[in-house]
Amino acid sequence: MKKMKKAHSRLLTASGSNPVKTMSIKKTTMSLAAAMGTFALSASSINAAVISIDPTNNVTNYISLGEWETPNDFEGWSTTNVANASVSGGSYNGDVVTTANDPQPTRTNFSNLAINLDSDNYSVVEVRISRTGTASRFDLFWGTTTANSFSGTRKAGTLTVPSDGNFHIIQFDMSAEASWESTLDDMRIDPFSDTATAARSFKLDYVRVGQVVPEPSTTALIGLGGIALILRRRK
Ligand SMILES: [Ca+2]
Ligand SMILES: [Ca+2]
Task: Note residues around ion ligand 2 (Cβ under 5 angstroms).
Answer: 67-68, 90, 205-206
3-state secondary structure the chain: CHHHHHHHHHHHHHCCCCHHHHHHHHHHHHHHHHHHCCCCECCCCCCCCEEEECCCCCCEEEEEEECCCCCCCCCCCCCCCEEEEEEECCEEEEEECCCCCCCCCEECCCHHHCCECCCHHHCEEEEEEEEECCCCCEEEEEEECCCCCCCCCCEEEECCCCCEEEEEEEEEECCCCCCCCCEEEEEEEECCCCCCCCCCEEEEEEEEEEECCCCHHHHHHHHHHHHHHHHHHHC
Q: What proportion of the chain, given as a percentage, has pLDDT over 70?
A: 70
Q: Tell me the per-residue pLDDT of 37-53, one tens digit each, with 9 for 90 and over.
A: 444 444 444 558 999 99
The CA 38 to ligand 2 mean position distance, Å, reads 27
Task: Note residues around ion ligand 1 (Cβ under 5 angstroms).
Answer: 108-109, 148, 185-186
| Domains of the chain (ranges, CATH numbers) | 39-214 (2.60.120.260)
Average pLDDT over every residue of 195-223: 81
Q: Tell me the per-residue pLDDT of 99-125, one tens digit each, with 9 for 90 and over.
A: 667 899 999 999 999 999 999 999 999
The CA 204 to ligand 2 mean position distance, Å, reads 7
Q: Label residue 193 by pLDDT band (50, 70, 90).
A: confident
The CA 180 to ligand 1 mean position distance, Å, reads 14
Q: Label residue 168 by pLDDT band (50, 70, 90).
A: very high
Q: Which of residues 19 and 218 earns the better pLDDT score?
A: 218
